[in-house]
Structure 1
Amino acid sequence: MTNVYSFDGVLVFGLLFICTCAYLKKVPRLKSWLLSEKRGVWGVFYKAAVIGTRLHLGVALCCLAAAFYVLFIK
């Protein structure tokens, strides 16, 4: 179990947030509802979805590295 208040917990949370928003961008009903705003508080979801779709290889490699770290090193 990762602690949210530690640095590695924040990294894991950020990666999961980016992956979730990128997935929600592919769902048509949720895309129009959740990712329609590009500014403000709701814009964070849109920006995370853009990061997840444009840097999908880097995000996937970071997710694998974080999973390896949490499972075997920590």
Structure 2
Amino acid sequence: MTNAYSFDGLVVFGLLVVCTCAYMRRVPRLKQWFLSEKKGFFGVFYKASIIGTRLHLFTALSCVFMAVYIMFLK
């Protein structure tokens, strides 16, 4: 179990935010409701969705690496 105050927990949280926002970008109703703001607090989610969409290979590899690390090495 990872906690939010360790580096592992922060990396997992960041990966989950990026993956969730990239998924929400693919769903039209969620995209117009949640990712329409490009500045301010909700702009972070828009930028995370852009990162998840454009760097989908590296995001997926990072998720797999973190899963293996948490399950077998930690």
State the TM-score, normalizing by the size of structure 2.
Answer: 0.98
Count of residue pairs brought into register by the alignment: 74
Q: Cα deviations across residues 26-73 of structure 1 (Å, max 9, x unaligned)?
A: 111110010001000010110000000000000000000000000000
The one-letter code of the counterpart of 2:2 is T
Letter in 2 for 1:24: M
Deviation beyond 3 Å, 4+ runs, structure 1: none
Q: Where in structure 2 are there 5+ consecutive unaligned residues?
A: none
Unaligned runs of 5+ in 1: none
Q: In the alignment, which residue of structure 2 is the partner of 1:66? A: 66
Task: Summarize the alignment of residues 1-74 of structure 1 with structure 2, pairs less than 5 Å apart.
Answer: 1-74=1-74
CA distance in 1, matches of 2:37, 2:4: 27
Aligned partner letter, 1:16: L
Q: What is the aligned-residue identity percentage?
A: 66
Take 1:71 and 1:4, find their aligned partners in 2: how far apart are those partners?
Answer: 17
Instruction: Give 1:15 deviation, angstroms.
Output: 0.3
What RMSD over aligned residues (CA atoms) do the two structures have, in Å?
0.4
